[in-house]
Structure 1
Amino acid sequence: MERRTLDIPSAGGTRVPPKHLGRLAQERRARLEEENRAAARDLSTVSEMDVLPEAMAPAVIDGERRRGRGAVSNAAGRFEPHAREAFDDGWQSLDELPPFRTSVTVEKPRTIINRNDSPDVGFDRSINPYRGCEHGCVYCFARPTHAYQGLSAGLDFETKLFAKPDAPELLAKELAKPGYEPRTIALGINTDGYQPIEREWRLTRRILEVLSDFGHPVGIVTKSALVLRDLDILAPMAARGLAKVALSVTSLDPKLARIMEPRAATPARRIDTIRRLSDAGVPTAVLVAPVIPAVTDAEMERILDAAVAAGASEAGYVMLRVPLEIRDLFKEWLLAHFPDRYRHVLSLLKDLHGGKEYDSTFGQRMTGTGPYAWTMARRFEIATERLGLNKRHLRLTTRHFRRPPQKGEQLSLFGEAT
């Protein structure tokens, strides 16, 4: 069963266990509390915006209930006044809790193009047809945004998804405005536009159809081989300099990828996707992102080698970032899967950010600072130079942009709008 609680600690600062806990539940609670104490011993100074209330300390969800998911807990959102905690009341009720299943809620935004002025990214606008992502990547920087829906950045982010079915129509309306100035739109930046629910909803495909009709440039980032479904749109757009695709490859180890990105395409399929896109004439790039210290960092050169052999012409990398709820979610994941590396990973992470686990400063948050960050940057530089990557960065064109005639609009004899 599940209950809602304010999660008030006792005077000594520890939780008072419920009176009706069974022996097995008490043992599980004791093990979890010991793990939490071990994690707490490694906490370092963090900025105020990264500190989570103690009342939101998460409890690990049973493995069977979260099978096929990335996060191991489902703590309440940071804006919620209450915390939820599963507990055994002595009647084995925990065994009756259902597994986490994916649900999709329709969202009706007023606009669909998001704007940003961050100097760390190479675009000023993006589109996200979905909120939340079933790929379940434990490190996903978009997880904290689920708090704005009153949901958890943990398992809720992977299972309670939102779709924007009006996205293509909203996009066409915004592009048709007289004052709109075209620049490359990034697709799939916050959450993957080709996550599994795209097979049914087809919002990304419909968005690409709108962009193609307007002659508007688009850059796609994905972990999914489903992007190959839309080659009939992407290849003609690429021939006009309107499209390019980047595949994110975190590791070439399928077992590691499965526990880190449980519902994303396997590494082999991502490399094959680069090959097939390249063969079809679509410019491709590989993103070694994120690089997780002491977990995936040793694979940087191997990933770049495989991507170049498949036809990638550009590459980039991003170091692991753990803002807000991601910090605790990532630590839980480390304790669950790599307890022997836990302290070493956090030590390197702090080395990246001047003794903190995360620094949101522009110009540093993607790559970090210090000796370890310098080493990773140098390795990337040497590898890309050796492989001939990034000799030139493809700039998509806006010269094909035009506003198609709107319904009911009269054209002149010579094809110009009146």
Structure 2
Amino acid sequence: MHYVTSKSILSKNNGMNLYRGCTHGCIYCDSRSKIYGMDHKFEDIAVKENSLELLKKELRRRPKSMIGTGAMTDPYIPLEKRLKYVRKSLELIHNYGFGFTCITKSDLVLRDLELLKRINEKSKVVIQMTLTTADDGLCSILEPNVCVTSRRVEVLKTLNDNGISTVVWLCPILPYINDTEDNINSIIDSCIETNVKGILCHGMGLTLRDGNREYFYSKLDEHFPGLKDRYIREYGNDYSIPSPNDRELMKIFKKRTYDAGIMNRWDEIFRYLHEFPQSSYQTKLVI
């Protein structure tokens, strides 16, 4: 790890990244792509040392809203156990009456459960959890340095039991690896059992571009010999890598989520993620 300073911490849409880089080791991670201009090794985490001071200043002057994190870097990387930047940012979010949402694969989020509950009582919290494969063994290959899927499902249940809404990212689905009906049905089963609010799935496949493509292919050679050649033959240097089973799997996804009353449209889910309960917050202030 190394420290850097930033000029700002919140984007215009109230997104933040306290860290840059990741050590989860997910073989498909788009954040490795050269397009993002990272000037250091991906696993050498850049810690924004002045991020909490910046966040405090920006929360003071911005209207109440949802603060999000996790779009580029999982906020609950192992380094967070020691540095507690996410924890401290949550304390500021709570103190200033904002809402919170994040995308993670880590059960470390439960460390902050009581604080998340306090924020949720005042405003709103939505935890977004990525699920790619129901098979824990395969999960350990695809996402080697973070908790396996069965543990993430336990986290979803714990959050739901404590009144915190959840959304699942069902992606990426890798052609010839986890693009099966059994896998999609198993993940949806878990989502239904844990009462998730919505499931985000833009399509069955993944994206590859310079930077993450090379890393992904090296891991295919390591764990799935011969599969890289098939990808190159079928997809070349395409950005979009759809599963040949996309149409059938998306039918299953749409029907099962609709039948279960789970949100499945991107626009609907993102609207929900960004909605801040103004009236609820004001009422609680008066009380």
Q: TM-score range by the shorter chain?
A: 0.7 to 0.9
Alignment of 1:133 with 2:22, yes or no, is yes
- Highest RCO, 1 vs 2 (Cα 8 Å, sep ≥ 6): 2
Corresponding residue to 1:157 among 24, 33, 42: 42
Corresponding residue of 1:408: none
Q: Contact between 2:133 and 2:149, CA under 8 Å: does it hold in 1? A: yes
Corresponding residue of 2:238: 357
Q: Hey, what's the Cα distance between the residues in 2 that align with 1:114 and 1:401?
A: 23
Spell out the pairing of 1:6-17 with structure 2 (5 A cutoff): none
Structure 2 regions of 5+ residues with no counterpart? 283-287
Q: CA RMSD in A?
A: 2.6
Structure 1 residues 197 and 385, CA, compared in 2 at 3 Å: closer, same or farther?
same
Q: Contact between 1:315 and 1:389, CA under 8 Å: does it hold in 2? A: yes
Corresponding residue of 2:2: 105
Offset at 1:206? Answer: 0.8
Residues 324-362 of structure 1, C-alpha deviations (whole Å, 9 max, x = no match):
2111211121122112433444566x3xxxx75215xxx
Q: Describe the SS at the equivalent of 1:294.
A: coil
Alignment of 1:297 with 2:179, yes or no, is yes
Q: Name the amino acid aligned to 1:125.
A: N
Q: Hey, what's the Cα distance between the residues in 2 that align with 1:107 and 1:276?
A: 35
Alignment of 1:387 with 2:260, yes or no, is yes
Corresponding residue to 2:60 among 176, 190, 209: 176
Offset at 1:248? Answer: 0.5
Q: Describe the SS at the equivalent of 2:201.
A: strand
Structure 1 residues 383 and 337, CA, compared in 2 at 3 Å: closer, same or farther?
same
Residues 303-324 of structure 1, C-alpha deviations (whole Å, 9 max, x = no match):
1111221232211124311122
Structure 1 residues 370 and 251, CA, compared in 2 at 3 Å: closer, same or farther?
closer
Structure 1 residues 204 and 146, CA, compared in 2 at 3 Å: closer, same or farther?
farther
Q: Contact between 1:187 and 1:219, CA under 8 Å: does it hold in 2? A: yes
Structure 1 residues 173 and 398, CA, compared in 2 at 3 Å: closer, same or farther?
farther
Q: Describe the SS at the equivalent of 1:290.
A: coil
Alignment of 1:188 with 2:188, yes or no, is no
Offset at 1:187? Answer: 1.1
Structure 1 residues 145 and 185, CA, compared in 2 at 3 Å: closer, same or farther?
farther
Structure 1 regions of 5+ residues with no counterpart? 1-103, 116-123, 360-367, 403-418
Larger radius of gyration: 1
Q: Describe the SS at the equivalent of 1:113.
A: coil
Q: Hey, what's the Cα distance between the residues in 2 that align with 1:129 and 1:150?
A: 17
Q: Name the amino acid aligned to 2:42.
A: F
- What is the TM-score of this pair, normalised by structure 2? 0.85
Q: Describe the SS at the equivalent of 2:145.
A: coil
Offset at 1:244? Answer: 0.5
Q: Name the amino acid aligned to 1:303.
A: I
More helix by share: 2
Structure 1 residues 146 and 199, CA, compared in 2 at 3 Å: closer, same or farther?
farther
Offset at 1:221? Answer: 0.7
Residues 51-78 of structure 1, C-alpha deviations (whole Å, 9 max, x = no match):
xxxxxxxxxxxxxxxxxxxxxxxxxxxx
Spell out the pairing of 1:105-124 with structure 2 (5 A cutoff): 105-115=2-12, 124=13
Q: Hey, what's the Cα distance between the residues in 1 that align with 2:64 and 2:83?
A: 26
Spell out the pairing of 1:272-283 with structure 2 (5 A cutoff): 272-283=154-165
Q: Hey, what's the Cα distance between the residues in 1 that align with 2:23 and 2:102?
A: 18
Spell out the pairing of 1:16-415 with structure 2 (5 A cutoff): 104-115=1-12, 124-144=13-33, 148-151=37-40, 156-158=41-43, 160-177=44-61, 180-298=62-180, 299-318=183-202, 319-346=205-232, 350=235, 357-359=238-240, 372-390=245-263, 393=269, 394=272, 396-399=275-278
Q: Name the amino acid aligned to 1:133.
A: C
Equivalenced residue count is: 272
Percent of counterpart pairs with the same letter? 27
Structure 1 residues 333 and 132, CA, compared in 2 at 3 Å: closer, same or farther?
same
Q: Contact between 2:170 and 2:201, CA under 8 Å: does it hold in 1? A: yes
